[in-house]
Chain A
Amino acid sequence: MKATLKLENIGQKEGKDILTFNSGKLTLIKGRGAIGKSRIIKSYALVLSFPILSRALMDEAIKFGIMKDAKTEFSPLVNSNNESAVIELNYDDISKRVDLSIDGEITIDNPGNEEFLYSSVVMRTSRIQENISRGYSDFSWIVNELSLAKDYETVLVIVNSYIVQIEKKKLEIEEIKTEKMEITRKIENLNVSRDELIKEIELLEQEISKIKLNPELKEKRLEIKKNIKAFQADLDENEKDKKKLEKAIKDIEGNINKNADRIEKNRLQIISLTKEKEDLKEITVEKIQNEIIEIKDIIAQYREELGAHNNNPILKLKDLEIKDEITCPFCHTGKLIPEKVQNEKEEIEEKINEVKTKIKKENGEINNKKKRINEKDKIPGIIKEIQGLEDESFQLMKSSDNFKNKIDGNSKKIKACIKAIYSDKDQLKKLNDNLAVIVESIKKDEEVQPLFDEKSEIDKNLGSVERQIKDSEEKMESSNIIKLFNVDVKIEKSSKVISTLNDVFTELKDHLESQIGEQKGGAANKFNENIKNLIKELKFTEFKQVSIDLENYDLKVIRNDNTIQSINSLSGSERGIIASLLQICAKETYLPEIPFLVGDDILMDIDPVRREVFFDYLKKLAQKNDWFIILTQVTDEDLTITEL
């Protein structure tokens, strides 16, 4: 199988490059430093992994220099003298094209797999290499990132947040229930007290009635009491009606206010749309085209300025190592002072960036102007929108008028209620006055006087108890509903609901934990099995086994004498071997279906004998799997591409 990689304006090289690679081979890209080897590896990394969505992998891509970070203004892969670049890869029947702009925007026509970065791109800065060289033994991240465990863990966090909320709600329900029980007990006790007081009053009244009173007064008192009861009931009814009507008026007023707000909003929108319409009427194609021509003139001036900067001979010194004062390579007479040259170079580069930013801004302005021409077509739509808003406002005003009529009707009813209330109160006052006169007359009897005093005291206590009962019942009513995840639930049903939800989320948690364990364990087992075979194949005698511990996912190295060593206790060369083993193993374990393994400037820390062993193994691996294995190697020569 052949792979064709087309590069345009990638890295330091301007223009197009077409490179061909064969599968089943180990390809070495050799050459001096800064000759353009890495840009080939980076191009493969980007075209086969983009789009990159995971935060951790995005950091990896920034470290590799294939994507820009938020602080950087320009793409690290696009040639600095150009606005855009292209990478095209064709292999088998697969075709991919990535378009890059200087400001970092990337688009791809056929998406890759972001995990390619962890499993199939080997750089000195890649996470496996860095972790091993720093002596970190925790490899849970690799079984996490290269399996579905990371997604299950994300869901587990969400499920756990529900479990925490359920626990809080359980406590809240318990507190409300305890409070309700206390209130119920209180009401029961108050009812007992009330019954006792009523009984005491009845007894007192019986006693009072036994005493011989003027029968006329007695009868009159009973009649007045009966009338008082009737007027009191009427008064209560009227007050209730009045409250209902007042609430209805308040609700209607709320609706009128809502309508008024909406009408005002429409009015402001109509003003704004009318202005927009007038502005659009003013647009003429000719005027805008003239403005575009003016901007294009400005851009032409900037481009001239950019050309002048780019042609500055100082920039051509960038590949020379200016360590000592040297003779000027252009005039061959004057001396160059390194520090001065460096400063001047930086100033020119800064000016180039400034001019590019200005060109970009002006191009943006042209696009805006072009869009403006087409905006004239919006006028009929705006007129329609204005008409719609006016119609809506008219309907709202009509609806507000109806509301006002309703308020007038209700106000009249309230007036009638108030009149009835005054009349009831007046009657009650008169009746109470009459009753007081009669009671006073009865009280004159010395025998009855203390009984009346006692009864009056008990009446007072009864009133207080009844008020307390009413307050407690209102409190009870208000604590009857609880909000469970935005749904109003009656308190008596809430325990069952929350207990069911608890069962649901506990079951989900168990499922997720088991899936995470399975995913991680599966990924680690697969990895361990592959690395065991790899050590055997490479005939490494110093290590018996390198494996990921299934308990804590730490990487352990077992020597031939069965001693277990952690990564940080290995020598630098041993770490280099382990890192390379792991990287090859990660590729074989996690992403064998993408037939590319690329590496930039690796295997250099390993001694030449071991390196040859690795090269031989990689050759066989490429042949066995029909993969493209492409590595860079630093030499003192020009760029060459060799297949082994």
Chain B
Amino acid sequence: MSNKKEFVNGLIEKIESDIKEGLDEQVFINDIREKVEEYITELIK
């Protein structure tokens, strides 16, 4: 997870799958914020 490439690919995968399934903007915003917070926590460990 702390690998940058892995994190970017994970986010791209999420964007593509959310758009494919019909994007819910508010849910997407919350998910991204959660993922970014988790990623920062990993980075500072």
- A485–B43 Cα distance when bound, in Å, is 13
B23 within 8 A of A: yes
Residues 507-524 of A at the B interface (beta carbon under 8 Å)? 507-508, 511-512
**Interface membership of chain A positions 471-506, coded 1 if the CB is closer than 8 angstroms to chain B and 0 otherwise:** 000000000000011110110010011001101100
Question: Which residue of A158, A485, A496, A508 is within 8 Å of B37 (Cβ)?
Answer: A485
* A487 adjacent to B19 (CB under 8 Å): no
Which partner residue on chain B sits nearest A508 by CB separation? B11
A155 within 8 A of B: yes
**Interface membership of chain A positions 140-178, coded 1 if the CB is closer than 8 angstroms to chain B and 0 otherwise:** 000000001001101100100010000000000000000
Question: Which residue of A155, A485, A486, A500 is within 8 Å of B23 (Cβ)?
Answer: A155
CB-defined contacts of B11 to chain A, threshold 8 Å? 504, 508
B1 within 8 A of A: no
* A490 adjacent to B44 (CB under 8 Å): yes
CB-defined contacts of B8 to chain A, threshold 8 Å? 504, 507-508
CB-defined contacts of B19 to chain A, threshold 8 Å? 148, 151-152, 155
* B44 adjacent to A504 (CB under 8 Å): no
**Interface membership of chain B positions 2-45, coded 1 if the CB is closer than 8 angstroms to chain A and 0 otherwise:** 00100110011001000100010100110011001101110110
- A511–B12 Cα distance when bound, in Å, is 8
CB-defined contacts of B36 to chain A, threshold 8 Å? 162, 485, 501
CB-defined contacts of B33 to chain A, threshold 8 Å? 485-486
* B23 adjacent to A154 (CB under 8 Å): yes
Which partner residue on chain A sits nearest B15 by CB separation? A155
Min C-beta distance of A515 to chain B, whole Å: 9
* A496 adjacent to B23 (CB under 8 Å): no
CB-defined contacts of A500 to chain B, threshold 8 Å? 4, 43
- A228–B13 Cα distance when bound, in Å, is 70
Q: How many residues of A contact B (CB 8 A)?
A: 24
Given A485-B40, A501-B36: A155 touches B28 (CB 8 Å cut-off): yes
Question: Which residue of A148, A151, A152, A497 is within 8 Å of B43 (Cβ)?
Answer: A497
Min C-beta distance of A639 to chain B, whole Å: 39
Min C-beta distance of B6 to chain A, whole Å: 11
Question: Which residue of A154, A497, A511 is within 8 Å of B25 (Cβ)?
Answer: A154
- A216–B39 Cα distance when bound, in Å, is 71
Min C-beta distance of A520 to chain B, whole Å: 15
**Interface membership of chain A positions 558-587, coded 1 if the CB is closer than 8 angstroms to chain B and 0 otherwise:** 000000000000000000000000000000
Min C-beta distance of A347 to chain B, whole Å: 46
Question: Which residue of A489, A503, A512 is within 8 Å of B15 (Cβ)?
Answer: A512
* B15 adjacent to A484 (CB under 8 Å): no
Question: Which residue of B7, B29, B39, B43 is within 8 Å of A158 (Cβ)?
Answer: B29
- A338–B31 Cα distance when bound, in Å, is 63
Min C-beta distance of A341 to chain B, whole Å: 51
A-B pairs with CB below 8 Å: how many?
56
* A504 adjacent to B29 (CB under 8 Å): no
Which partner residue on chain B sits nearest A152 by CB separation? B19
Question: Which residue of A158, A487, A496 is within 8 Å of B28 (Cβ)?
Answer: A158
Question: Which residue of B15, B23, B32, B44 is within 8 Å of A487 (Cβ)?
Answer: B44
CB-defined contacts of B37 to chain A, threshold 8 Å? 485-487
Question: Which residue of A148, A158, A484 is within 8 Å of B32 (Cβ)?
Answer: A158
- A550–B7 Cα distance when bound, in Å, is 33
Min C-beta distance of B30 to chain A, whole Å: 11
Given A152-B19, A154-B25, A508-B12: A489 touches B40 (CB 8 Å cut-off): yes
* A484 adjacent to B40 (CB under 8 Å): yes
CB-defined contacts of B4 to chain A, threshold 8 Å? 500, 503-504
Question: Which residue of A489, A503, A512 is within 8 Å of B44 (Cβ)?
Answer: A489
- A166–B41 Cα distance when bound, in Å, is 16
**Interface membership of chain A positions 299-324, coded 1 if the CB is closer than 8 angstroms to chain B and 0 otherwise:** 00000000000000000000000000
Which partner residue on chain B sits nearest A504 by CB separation? B8
* A151 adjacent to B23 (CB under 8 Å): yes
CB-defined contacts of B23 to chain A, threshold 8 Å? 151, 154-155
Given A148-B19, A151-B23: A504 touches B40 (CB 8 Å cut-off): no
Min C-beta distance of B11 to chain A, whole Å: 6
* B12 adjacent to A501 (CB under 8 Å): no
CB-defined contacts of B32 to chain A, threshold 8 Å? 158, 162
Min C-beta distance of B10 to chain A, whole Å: 10
- A110–B25 Cα distance when bound, in Å, is 24
* A501 adjacent to B40 (CB under 8 Å): yes
Min C-beta distance of A509 to chain B, whole Å: 11
- A179–B33 Cα distance when bound, in Å, is 30
CB-defined contacts of B44 to chain A, threshold 8 Å? 487, 489-490, 493, 497
CB-defined contacts of A148 to chain B, threshold 8 Å? 19
Which of B19, B36, B40 counts the most A-chain CB atoms under 10 A from its CB? Answer: B40
- A493–B7 Cα distance when bound, in Å, is 19
Min C-beta distance of B4 to chain A, whole Å: 6
Which partner residue on chain A sits nearest B32 by CB separation? A158
* B12 adjacent to A487 (CB under 8 Å): no
Given A162-B36, A511-B12: A496 touches B7 (CB 8 Å cut-off): no
- A484–B36 Cα distance when bound, in Å, is 10
CB-defined contacts of A484 to chain B, threshold 8 Å? 40
Min C-beta distance of B5 to chain A, whole Å: 9
- A511–B33 Cα distance when bound, in Å, is 19
CB-defined contacts of A162 to chain B, threshold 8 Å? 32, 36
- A503–B39 Cα distance when bound, in Å, is 13
CB-defined contacts of B29 to chain A, threshold 8 Å? 158
CB-defined contacts of A497 to chain B, threshold 8 Å? 40, 43-44
* A504 adjacent to B7 (CB under 8 Å): yes
Query: What would 5 more interface pairs be, CB under 8 Å, given A158-B25, A497-B44?
Result: A152-B19, A155-B19, A158-B28, A162-B36, A507-B8
Chain B: residues with CB nearer than 8 A to chain A? 4, 7-8, 11-12, 15, 19, 23, 25, 28-29, 32-33, 36-37, 39-41, 43-44
- Listed A/B pairs (18) with beta-carbon separation below 8 Å: A148-B19, A152-B15, A155-B15, A158-B29, A485-B37, A487-B44, A489-B40, A490-B44, A493-B44, A496-B43, A497-B44, A504-B7, A504-B11, A504-B39, A508-B11, A508-B12, A511-B15, A512-B15
Chain A: residues with CB nearer than 8 A to chain B? 148, 151-152, 154-155, 158, 162, 484-487, 489-490, 493, 496-497, 500-501, 503-504, 507-508, 511-512
Complex A-B, nearest 3 residue pairs according to Cβ-Cβ distance, in ascending order: A151-B19, A487-B40, A151-B23
